[in-house]
Structure 1
Amino acid sequence: MELYYSFSILIVIATIFSYVNVRFLKLPATIGIMVIAMIVSILLVFIGNLVTTGPLQDFSTLIGSLNFSEILMNGMLNFLLFAGAIHINITDLKEQRLPVIIFSTLSVIISTFVIGFALYFLLNRLLPMVDLHLEIPFIYCLLFGSLISPTDPIAVLSILKQANVSKSVETKVAGESLFNDGVAVVVFAVILKLAQGESIDLSITNIAWLFIKEALGGFLVGLLLGYVAARAMRTANDYKVSVLITLSVVMGGSLIVHAMHISGPLAMVAAGLIIGESKRKRKENEEIVTTNHVGHFWELLDEVFNAILFLFIGFELLLIPNLHNYWLIGCICIVVVLFARYISIKIPTLIIPFKEKFSSGTIKILVWGGLRGGVSIALALSIAEGPFKQVLIAATYFVVVFSIIVQGLTIGKLAKKIKIS
């Protein structure tokens, strides 16, 4: 019952913040909710220093008691990825399949190592020369690189559409963001085991097997779930049953992939793509009522979960004591992550013969549009207690907040200025 009360409070708060944003701030919905939550968090921290008891302290305790990493990675993420994938056109995705595959796999690995090496050099070699000591072991710099490398499409896609960005760029950003979560989680899990001193076989064969089992296994299971569900929806041809089928795919499918120890995110993406494509074909055949109801249901669910997710991100400020002590490393990490994002996009465009040539404008959009979000925070929070956990969480929070607010609010203007056709 406590979980029910907690979510009830969060839904009410998200509703109030959404209203305030629509009425006064007029920012993109998710960004507005997060900004208001951050402002409220700062006020709570300030007032909390003056008031040690009462509702304010109870609310801080409530936020601290919620396992954000568990809630997002084993619950909300599956709904969000399925909801995102169901609206992606497979035809568009096929046209951009090579860039999407490369950016969601090779670019994640490149970004991880560029961030790891650059951050280690800056913190352990360069800063001590000017008498600033923020040393972090290389393995933890690499761990930070793995958790901050996956991009998040949630905040940027609607802005790109408003900016009239070309369909090819929009598909690249969306496709990469949907697929790279599964890859990044595998990379993070391997590096985390090394950081915690666990023995692990680092041979190419074993690492390749881990990727095949997690990524390919999850994708294949998702395709099977999507095919079975799409067929059932066609034969039932009833919107209430269709909605229940899609819910069962996400919730039941999550249990299946968890039991099989394979990638849940990739399974949900694959299932969403198959069901979304089936929905579009049925719409072309004038089965509009059923497909529209399913689409509207998932659009609404997507908005609700996004509101809660960005509310969580804003309130995570309450869980980082003395955040102001980490401003320098936070700023350094922002620069390093942007640099790594550029390198991870630029290198593949130079060495891989893509069908279409990447202009400098396209690369700028891909770099600046690679927002970080809740997945990175959830991965940081999942790290076991240790001497470097708090600094990694703080650095992640700085990068995510900068990414969502600064990049998220300016990507539209950048896209309009570049005018990619």
Structure 2
Amino acid sequence: MLDLIAIIVSLTALLAWLNHQFIRLPTTIGVMAIALALSAGMHGLSWLGYSALEDYAESLLSQIDFNKLLMDGMLSFLLFAGALHVDLDRLKRYRWSIGFLATFGVVISTLAIGATAYYLLGLFGFAVPFMYCLVFGALISPTDPIAVLGILRQANAPADLELRIVGESLFNDGVAVVVFTLLLGAATGSEALTFTHAGKLFLLEAGGGIALGLVVGGVAYWLMRSIDEYRIEVLISLAVVLGGYALALELHASGPIAMVVAGLLVGNKARKSAMSDTTRQQLDAFWELVDEILNTLLFVLIGLEVLLIPFESELLWVSGGLIAILLVVRFSTIGVPIMLLRRYLGFRKGAARILTWGGLRGGISVALALAIPSGDERDILLTVTYVIVLFSILVQGLTIGRVVSSLLDKPNK
């Protein structure tokens, strides 16, 4: 395992250096693009008869449980780090729109995307049960906070729009995991799909996550307030993430929601009244570094995981159709209410298009797809998910800055 970690970290450092020195794309997109090119090169060599390098890379990657690594490892750090810098007072102003996007928006998108996937897959001869298509709708619907946070900051998006997108992304993945878990249980026949069961699961996961986040964040605040030693306070914040997420898993509460709530509490209440200036600087520096390193590692892994994805050419057409539908559904669930209630909700002109194009999908969708039990359905849905994620990060991620600039340059009537 140590050898594997050493190889991945060393490769990530090299790719980050190459991107910074020569390509100069945003770090996460740049390293993923180079990793994809590297994967394509190994596949090309294998096609020419030199398969040793690709076989070695596949053997290394097969040792990584991507779902467990992200969902039970990296995600807790990344969500806490993202929530740590969100202004809670400003977030409260947009609580209704963010709450709608993170709950009803996910449910509506799950149903619409699931039904479309069922139709398109059947049209191209892929027999995937409708319930599995709904599972796909649940895993591809949430915008990924990991992808959104890093890319939007470099796109110079207005603070209010960035806060809405980030706020939605931080909360909707927790909701989506609950919906995904419910639908996957029904698809595999392990659990019945009833309103009572769904309500109990949502209350336990989401409600438990909020409660746990408040408790863990509150304890961290009390501990930080009682001392003035930045080393210990940084260690406390680290304990919040590791201990809090482990406790959430043990209690069957939503770990992602718990980390967001705890991060908001530490980043706002503790920052204002429990930290000295030195502690604030050191805490911010520590978590910014953790965020950057884990993000970079994650996107390199996404680029390399293509070696393990079973591609079929027909699925590229299905993926293309679903990308278009995904954007249409997002615009409908987000854009239409914004345009109708723009004056009351405080959205600026062009917000609908920015929020639609800025709704990136990332590693969480891939991780959830990998959680589907092995079989033809998993292979098909994993391939489609991967193609959509690549489009989202490489195309939407690289052009969101231009979309923001072009729309904001227009008069705001």
Q: TM-score band (shorter)?
A: over 0.9
From 99, 102, 124, the counterpart of 2:100: 102
**Aligned counterparts of 1:353 and 1:415: Cα–Cα separation in 2:** 18
**Aligned counterparts of 1:261 and 1:363: Cα–Cα separation in 2:** 36
- SS of 2:226 mapped into structure 1: helix
- SS of 1:154 mapped into structure 2: helix
1:207 and 2:205 are equivalent in the alignment? no
Q: Please tell me the residue identity of whatever aligns with 2:375.
A: G
Q: Deviations over 1:40-62 (max 9, x none)?
A: 01111122334566454222210
> CA shift at 1:385, angstroms?
1.0
Q: Please tell me the residue identity of whatever aligns with 2:114.
A: G
Q: Deviations over 1:164-212 (max 9, x none)?
A: 433221111000000011100000011111111224151x233122111
1:145 and 2:128 are equivalent in the alignment? no
**Does the Cα contact within 8 Å between 1:33 and 1:310 map onto a contact in 2?**
yes
Q: Deviations over 1:150-175 (max 9, x none)?
A: 10133344544454433221111000
Q: Please tell me the residue identity of whatever aligns with 1:98.
A: W
**Does the Cα contact within 8 Å between 1:14 and 1:311 map onto a contact in 2?**
yes
> CA shift at 1:346, angstroms?
3.5
Map of 1:338 onto structure 2: 327
**Aligned counterparts of 2:19 and 2:280: Cα–Cα separation in 1:** 31
1:278 and 2:292 are equivalent in the alignment? no
1:254 and 2:252 are equivalent in the alignment? no
Q: Please tell me the residue identity of whatever aligns with 1:117.
A: A
- SS of 2:350 mapped into structure 1: helix
- The TM-score normalised by the length of structure 1 is 0.92
**Aligned counterparts of 2:280 and 2:57: Cα–Cα separation in 1:** 41
1:178 and 2:170 are equivalent in the alignment? yes
> CA shift at 1:348, angstroms?
4.6
Identity score, percent: 42
In 2 relative to 1, CA 215–354 (structure 1 residues): closer, same or farther, beyond 3 Å? farther
- The TM-score normalised by the length of structure 2 is 0.94
- SS of 1:236 mapped into structure 2: coil
> CA shift at 1:87, angstroms?
0.9
- SS of 1:65 mapped into structure 2: coil
Q: Please tell me the residue identity of whatever aligns with 2:241.
A: V
From 285, 290, 315, the counterpart of 1:296: 285
Map of 1:225 onto structure 2: 216
- SS of 1:116 mapped into structure 2: helix
- SS of 2:322 mapped into structure 1: helix
Segments of 5+ residues of structure 1 without an aligned counterpart are none
Map of 2:117 onto structure 1: 119
Map of 1:365 onto structure 2: 354
- SS of 2:384 mapped into structure 1: helix
In 2 relative to 1, CA 140–348 (structure 1 residues): closer, same or farther, beyond 3 Å? farther
**Does the Cα contact within 8 Å between 1:86 and 1:273 map onto a contact in 2?**
yes
Once superposed, what is the RMSD of the aligned Cα atoms?
A: 2.1
